[in-house]
Copies of this chain bind each other. A is one copy, B any other.
Amino acid sequence: MSGGVPLAGLTAGNHGRRLEAGEIADYLRSRPGLARFAPSGRELSVREVGDGNLNLVFVVRSEPDRPGVVLKQSLPYVRSMGESWPLTLERAAAEARAFEAYTRFAPELLPAWYGYDPDRHVLAMEDLADLRVWRAALNDGEVHLAAAAAIGRLVGRIAFHTSDFGTEAKARKALLAGSVNPELCEITEDLVFTEPLVDHEHNHWPPGVTGLVRELQRDPRLRTEFAELKHRFMTHGEALIHGDLHTGSVMVGGGRAVVIDLEFSFYGPVGFDLGMFWANAVFAAARAERLGRDAVFRGHVDRILAESWAAFVTELRGLWPTRVDRFFDDTFLERYLAATWTDALGYAAAEAIRRTVGYAHISDLDSLPEPARSSAAEAVLRVARWLALERRGIDSPGAAWSVVREEVER
């Protein structure tokens, strides 16, 4: 790994080849702007920390206690499924595109961006040394006061700047065409919308909710709502949404909150990001209740939906006077916000159900002992059904959250 050794693994024949810890110093030295993370003569510490299913994630440091760089490499299959579920590597390019767009408009809400290597499908970004995954922090009862508003602000910022509000129509259409992400969208279409409501081998759930799950799967009203939500997800190309904005895609700490994992990004409905995020607040609330967390933490969780929505609205209203197409009037903005709110409640329902019933669960609930796990899952599913069926009549964050509280305290 010293500088004098010929660079290994960087020929065209290595296109997409898996990064090995032992080659990372040479790799960094070969990439523009990254050599500073591998000073010559110093041993690098390399930790692979990927906990997702789709990627390798290396934290690389030249001094163990000081931030270095993170390298994220896409794998050509879903990791937990082995090589039986192949996945295009184009998602790395999709993530890089989104990283660049998001960094342009909201640099303070992402890790610093160091660029993309299309040959090895490697993204380089800030080592968020002092931050941790928000889901883990919530699971531990940590309070991060500014995080909810940061997420709302980010979604609002992106909803404005990457849509026909902030980008001239022709440029926006080019962005849309360049951001189709068929394979990762298909994962969402299947795993979030379809599978949880049908009999599918991917599905599993806590033992105490089997009856309720069957009820949901047999409810034709829920099916129609999910069909509509899925159709909107597939057809409404409003803005370059994150596409996977749960609390596991947020890092918090030191007063910062940043989003990561943008590989699901594409032109979709803005309400999808908000709704997925809100469902994760419901999980946190259900868990906090079961664990008897103190009032400070529960109050914190109780404010996530309202604070993020308020920040989203404030951001959009603040940017509105700078819109490129002034034909969109102020009353239209209010209508757009109302439609996004209703959409988001529906997408919250879809995320809540799929994380309880479908393929990918979340640690918030799964790490609870029984019967707490089943009872938390039941609360989540009841909230989800109500949100999906009644969302058009829910007129405020307070109205939405009062039902969440009622169900989690049941």
Contact = CB atoms under 8 A, between A and B. Distances in A.
Interface of A: 163-164, 169-170, 172-174, 176-178, 180-183, 185-186, 189, 193-194, 197-198, 220, 223-224, 226-228, 230-231, 234-238, 325, 327-329, 331-332, 335-336
Nearest to A165: B231
Main DSSP-derived SS at the A contact region:
helix
Question: How many chain copies?
Answer: 2
A170 B186 contact: yes
Given A170-B182, A180-B176, A237-B237, A193 B327 contact: yes
Contacts of A198: 327
Contacts of A224: 329, 331-332, 335
B185 A228 contact: no
Contacts of A236: 235-237
Contact of A332 (B172, B186, B231, B332): B231
A347 B128 CA distance: 50
A180 B173 contact: yes
A272 B268 CA distance: 20
A231 B174 contact: no
Contact of A327 (B173, B230, B237): B230
Contacts of A230: 327-328
A217 to B, nearest CB: 12
Nearest to A193: B327
Contacts of A181: 173
A375 B15 CA distance: 70
A329 B176 contact: no
11 contacts: A169-B186, A173-B180, A173-B181, A173-B182, A177-B177, A177-B180, A198-B327, A223-B327, A224-B329, A231-B328, A236-B237
B164 A234 contact: yes
Contacts of A234: 164, 169, 172
Contact of A231 (B194, B197, B220, B336): B336
Nearest to A327: B194
A240 to B, nearest CB: 12
B169 A174 contact: no
A169 B182 contact: yes
A180 B170 CA distance: 9
A328 B227 contact: yes
Contact of A170 (B183, B193, B335): B183
